[in-house]
Amino acid sequence: MLIRFVLMNRQEKLGKQLQRDLGEIVDSAAKQLLGSNVLVSVQEVVLTPDLGLAKVYLSFLGSKDKEADLNALDEHSSTIRRYLAQKLKDHVRKVPEIQLYLDKTIEQAERINTLLDKLRDERSDN
C-alpha cells in the first residue's frame, strides 16, 4: 500500500511539474506558430503509471479553428518535448512522450447547462 501511495504521489507531482513547464513552453510555441491573438493553456496533464507518456489537454482562447491549432502544435511536439527535457533534466531520467489533446471540458459544461435550461423551461411551461 505504501509503495502505491509513493508511486501515485510521484505521478501527481510530476504531472503538476509538467503542467507548469509545458504551460510556459506551449505558450511560447503558440505565440510563434499561431500568433499573439491565440491564448493556449495546459488544463491537465495525465501521466501513465510508468511515467512514460503524458497526455496533455490544451484549451484555446481566441482561436478560430481549435483543431487546426492543435494540429499545428502537435506537429512540433518533438521540439516541445526537447524544451521540456531541458527544464526537467535535474528531476527525471527520461522525459515522457507527449500526446496533445483538445480539452473539451468547457464545451461539455456549456452543453450540459443548455440541456438543463431546456429542462427548466419545459417544466415551467407545464
**Confidence band of 2 (pLDDT split at 50, 70, 90):** very low
In percent, the amount of the chain with pLDDT more than 90 equals: 37
Report strand pairing: 97-102 vs 39-47.
unpaired
> What integer pLDDT is reported at residue 1 of this predicted model?
47
pLDDT tens across 30-58, in order? 888 888 788 899 999 999 888 899 999 99
Per the structure, the count of domains in the chain is 1
Containing 1, the helix (H) or strand (E) segment is none
CATH number of domain containing 93: 3.30.300.20
Is this model's pTM higher than 0.85 or not? no
d(CA 1, CA 76) in angstroms, rounded, equals 39
Mean pLDDT of 93-117: 84
Nearest to 60 by CA among 43, 47, 81, 83: 43
Q: Report how far residue 31's alpha carbon sits from residue 72's, in angstroms, rounded to the nearest whole number.
A: 12
Q: Could you give the C-alpha distances from 44 to 62, 77, 89, 98, 122, in angstroms and in order?
A: 19, 16, 21, 12, 36
Full domain range(s) for residue 110: 2-125
